[in-house]
Amino acid sequence: MSSIIQLLPDHVANQIAAGEVVQRPASVVKELLENAVDARATDIKLIIKDAGKALVQVIDNGLGMSVTDARLCFERHATSKIRQAEDLFSLHTKGFRGEALASIAAIAHVEMKTKQDQEELGNHIIIEGSKFISQDAAVLPKGTSFAVKNLFFNIPARRNFLKSDTVEYRHVVDEFQRIALAHPKIHFTFYHNGSEMFNLAPATSRQRIVAVFAGKTNEKLIPVQEETEIVTIEGFVSKPEFAKKSRGEQFFFVNDRFIKSGYLHHAVMAAYDGILKDGAQPSYFLNLTLPPHTIDINIHPTKTEIKFDDEQALYAILRASIKHGLGQFNVAPVLDFDRDSNLDTPYHYKDFDGATPTIQVDGNFNPFSEERPSKQFSTYKKPESTANWESLYVGLDENPNESQHLTFENEEITSSLFQDEEVENSVHKTYQIHKKYIISSIKSGMVIVDQQRAHQRVLYEQFLLNMTVKQASSQQLLFPLNLFYSSSEMELISGLQLSLINTGFVFEENDTDHIVISGIPVNVTESEVSIVLEQLLNDLQDGIPESSFSQNDSIAKSMAKSLAVKTGSYLTEKEQENLVNGLFACKDPNVSPFHKPTFITMRVEDLDKKFAL
């Protein structure tokens, strides 16, 4: 029998490896930016077109590469970071496995230009699908320029799995922000389709965070700093009142490398225990510095997960340091407008000593004496004699018929438990049970309605109708609302603006970091606007649907979920009736917008069976 196992060709092996390293354009952005940082660049430019599908280019002023290194960097497992297995536990750089460039070159058109500072000429290399097309000398500036074009050009199936440009662009922005936040001393510039999206000058960590997320980021940050033998923690967490429902602004950096850790996230949430609303998520930007030999960063293909040597101690230190930072914020002096200023010590009396009071005693004072005491010792006034108390009632018995008559309002009893008169008018049409279900009688028995799901269905169809007909009613605000968002959130809102206008929102101004709303839908209160928009952004964080109908459907579902009456809310009898009537007036009253049943029916025969012996 002939052998059936054979070695894969290099270009096939590279394409398979690319499946682990390169999942989307954002993966290319991550690898190229990390290489630029490892090259000790102080100025890095990121240029993309069509969300990275057509072009991803990174230009840096780093060390550059020699002729030999420029060719070897595209070979599998070729790296300058490690020499032996032990080096994996003493890493101080980002890339180290030597698979990124080989994988990228296997599935795209790559053009690299690089030059070292001491060399007169640089190298210009072109590779298409792992095949070297050319390598020539060229006059170039110091540093390296990588241009990755036509991603997945030779794997159409992988290209078909890419999302819309909006979604892919958002993933690219996420990767860019992670690298930029981890290295505030480097100048980063980001261009998309010829437009400058970010221009981040070298700054401190706090300034970099504010520059990336804009808005009111600066006023919500609380510094966190702790230095121990195990770990050094530096960074910022947000004040509790700025917590959001989404988990967008949450960053852990270990030795300047972005990671994801549910264990460390739990430590942060434990520090906020008792001061956050249910479902709220705080923002945090925390950089943990640990000895390289105490962590293993080679457990995940994308290197976003790390194994720690002593997780329990790290958990306790992180939780305590955040609690300490929050405690310092809470005990800081604040303006109290309810304090009575009359009780404050005047400023010009602050250095005065209080005078000791003098005590005078009248040795001749006799409490049983009839004489009036001296005024300087007492102001006591002896009550008048009450011997003639009958005089208080003189005249009350005269003309008794003219005396004032008092009338008392008797409580009228309108019904009785066993009274048969007008029973039909006193019977409730609906009942609320446990502030969750509404029971209404029907001819065959009764119907039990889930109030939250029913209201979701009513609101969903109402919003969808308004967006389809484009005749939504708006209520004008006396004072316009200013809502601040990050750049990525503003990008999403811009894509949703037309649909939001059709639901009843009126946008007065759209800036780079905030929006001004002067009108809102009639069934939305002013205090609910920020909650509705935040929930909408959270629901659509994986991308805005391309078709207008799908977009309207997603917005209607999100707004219905935010505005629907919640379980545990008390409803009056009128509100119960309106909700039940509104549900059965819907086109599809049987299920909520999320395909959950809104009501069940129970027949009289079913009840009879329950009571049958």
Residues 46 and 163 both lie in one domain:
yes
**333 or 147: which leads in pLDDT:** 147
Q: In terms of domains, do 302 and 444 share one? A: no
Q: Is residue 228 domain-resident?
A: yes
What pLDDT, on a 0 to 100 scale, did the predictor assign at position 172? 92
pLDDT-based confidence at 367, cuts 50/70/90? Answer: confident
Q: Is residue 607 part of a domain?
A: no
Instruction: Look at residue 373 in the predicted model and tell me its pLDDT.
Output: 53
Residue 25 lies in a domain: yes
SS3 at position 450: strand
Domain that holds residue 283: 212-330
- Lowest mean pLDDT segment, chosen from 10-14, 137-141, 328-332, 499-503: 328-332
pLDDT at residue 15, rounded to an integer: 60
The CATH number of residue 22's host domain is 3.30.565.10
Residue 420: pLDDT above 50? no
Do residue 46 and residue 153 come from a single domain?
yes
Q: pLDDT for 19-32, tens place per residue?
A: 557 888 999 999 89
One domain for residues 492 and 592: yes
Q: For 166-189, what is each residue's pLDDT tens digit?
A: 888 888 999 999 999 999 999 999
Q: Tell me the pLDDT band of 294, cut-offs 50, 70 and 90.
A: confident
Where residue 550 sits, what CATH number does that domain have?
3.30.1370.100
pTM exceeds 0.75, yes or no = no
Q: Identify whether residues 459 and 482 lie together within a single domain.
A: yes
Same domain, 194 and 95: yes
pLDDT for the residue numbered 330 = 61
Helices and strands, counts by H and E, the chain: 16, 22
Task: Report the distance separating Cα 53 and Cα 26, nearest Å.
Answer: 10
How much is the mean pLDDT over the chain? 80
Q: Are residues 54 and 115 in the same domain?
A: yes
Asked which of 243-247, 436-440, 453-457 is least confident by mean pLDDT, the reply is 243-247
Please indicate whether residue 370 or residue 271 has the higher confidence score (pLDDT).
Answer: 271
Between 41-45, 211-215, 514-518, the lowest mean confidence (pLDDT) is in 211-215
- Count: domains in the chain: 3
pLDDT for residue 344:
60
Spell out the residues 6+ positions from residue 586 whose beta carbon is closer than 8 angstroms to its own: 457, 458, 461
Residues 99 and 190 in one domain: yes
C-alpha separations of 297 from 88, 201, 238 in Å: 8, 29, 28
608: in domain: no
How far apart (Å, rounded) are the C-alpha atoms in residues 553 and 551?
5
Looking at the predicted structure, is the pLDDT value of residue 216 above 90? no
pLDDT above 70 as % of the chain = 77
CA distance 131 to 129: 5
606 close to 448: Cβ distance less than 8 angstroms: no
Q: Is residue 79 part of a domain?
A: yes
Strands (E), 66-121: 109-115
Residue 539 lies in a domain: yes
200, 233, 265 - which closes a domain:
200
116 and 177 share one domain: yes
Residue 334 has pLDDT above 60, yes or no: no
Please determine, for residue 18, whether its predicted confidence score (pLDDT) is greater than 80.
Answer: no
**For residues 336-351, average pLDDT:** 59
Main-chain dihedrals φ then ψ at residue 540, nearest 5 degrees: -105, 20
| pLDDT for 368 | 77
- pLDDT reported for residue 295: 81
Question: Do 228 and 83 share a structural domain?
Answer: no
In a domain, 250, yes or no: yes
Check whether 13 has a pLDDT greater than 70.
no
